[in-house]
Amino acid sequence: MATVLSLLLVVLLSHAPSAFPATTTAATTGFRVAITRTHSPNSFTFKERFHRAVQRSRRRREVLKLANYSRHDVEAVFKWGDSEYLIELAVGTPMQPITAILDTGSDLIWTQCTPCIRCLPQPSPYYKPSTSSTYSVLPCSSPSCSGVGHRCNQKACQYDTSYGDNTETRGFLATETLTFGRKRVPGLTFGCGIWNNGTLSGSTGIVGLGRGTLSLPSQLHPRRFSYCLTPYNSSSTGHLFLGSKAKLGRRHRGGHVQTTPMLPSPSAVPFNTYYYLPIQGISLGRTLLPIPKTAFQIKKDGNGGMIIDSGTLLTIVDPAAFHVIVKKILSLVHLPVATSTDELLCFSWTPGLHRLPEMPDMVFHFDGADMVVPKDKYMISDPEEGLCLAIMSGEGTSILGNYMQQDMHILYDLKANSLSFADARCDQL
């Protein structure tokens, strides 16, 4: 493998206009990019889709837990491809289109490229650095090289990243011009993946939005960024906003903008990737649930607490919090229980025989802000097969998943270190 990579490096360098350029600071006044979502095949039933979502969310949580102990294990790109949100952009000069998974739980920006030892199927041609006049491989001496698991190959920075579902990408860190809509940004560090294994859910790679040095926000240095995710069962388009375009304006449904500070990552978390939120408790209707305070405490080893993540479908909470939530849900829902385990809760529901219950809003109480989650964002329903709680149990770090973030404009203020949110029609922003 090392010999093959060395030969490919020679090819990549031979076509690059400058092998080891100085790093370019990418400044931007602001832009927006459309967000779409992947969908599982229609042949999957509701029950199959839900249990696949459980498996993806469970694996995501496991990898987040593992990430506290290994600098090479990062978040999973999940196999069944119906919980990821995608953005379209272009790489290189002339521009070559790519479609990447949007992920606030990881940092590296990468795409599959040629010449390729092993590449996964994707909907568009593989990126060809040999045809781009703005592509340059980075040396190991580059500060960017320390932002990812890496090794040196003929003094070039070779990255090696493995994901929790056994997806892997290996290749070379390089600088390149990325284009978002009409906005061209030169000198961004990204991964040119020439050995890739696993699955990419119909995309070409990943755009990381985490807090680490190689993420898109960290490289662009915007004061803020935001996104608005369209509903799970919708084919409409949401948007990612960066810089001056990221703001919460008048177009939000009901209520007012809520703002909470983001907590610093524990020192045990590699690369400072995750966005931790100061959760104080959870209410269902007017009832503050008796969840132990220890359920959301951040531990010295990096586990515990709650992060917000665009790449996890279901919300995951500590078992102590889950059991309290389930007890309250069972007192409100008078339907036959289909699944009730230490991890999941589902009810049977037959149209014409059962009526969907009236259920109050769920409220996540953060420091200085309340996130109101209506029934259709914490319960997943299908008229033929059932009603399931969109919350699962898992030890370790709790995760506010993207199902609860639907039709909510969420703003990350990186200068103020705060998170703001408001209800919105994401397809109308």
Residue 318 known to be catalytic: no
Do residues 300 and 68 make contact, with C-beta atoms less than 8 angstroms apart?
Answer: no
Is the Cβ–Cβ distance between 198 and 165 less than 8 Å?
yes
- Phi, psi of 341, deg, nearest 5: -125, -175
Neighbour tally for 289: CB within 10 Å: 15
Distance CA(104)–CA(57), nearest Å, equals 15
CA-only gyration radius of the chain, Å: 22
Q: Residue 123: which residues within 8 A CB-CB, separation 6 or more?
A: 99, 202, 203, 204
Q: Residue 244 and residue 103: Cα distance in Å, rounded?
A: 21
Task: For residue 395, count other CB atoms closer than 10 A to its CB.
Answer: 14
Distance from C-alpha of 306 to C-alpha of 220, rounded to nearest angstrom: 26
Whether residue 264 contacts residue 302, with contact meaning beta carbons closer than 8 Å, is answered with no
149 closest CA partner among 122, 168, 176, 123? 168
Q: Six-digit token pair at 179?
A: 């284009």
361 in active site: no
Nearest to 366 by CA among 277, 298, 300, 239: 277
Cα–Cα distance for residue pair 161/149, rounded to 1 Å: 6
CB 317 within 8 A of CB 295: yes
In whole angstroms, what separates CA 245 from the centre of its chain? 20
**Given the residues 73, 103, 318, 423, the one annotated as active site:** 103
Question: Of residues 73, 82, 165, 309, which has the active-site annotation?
Answer: 309
Instruction: For residues 364 and 260, give the distance between their C-alpha atoms in angstroms, rounded to a whole number.
Output: 12
Query: What does the DSSP 8-state code read for residue 297?
Result: P
d(CA 423, CA 406): 9
8 A C-beta contact, residue 261 and residue 246: no
Active site amino acids: 103, 309
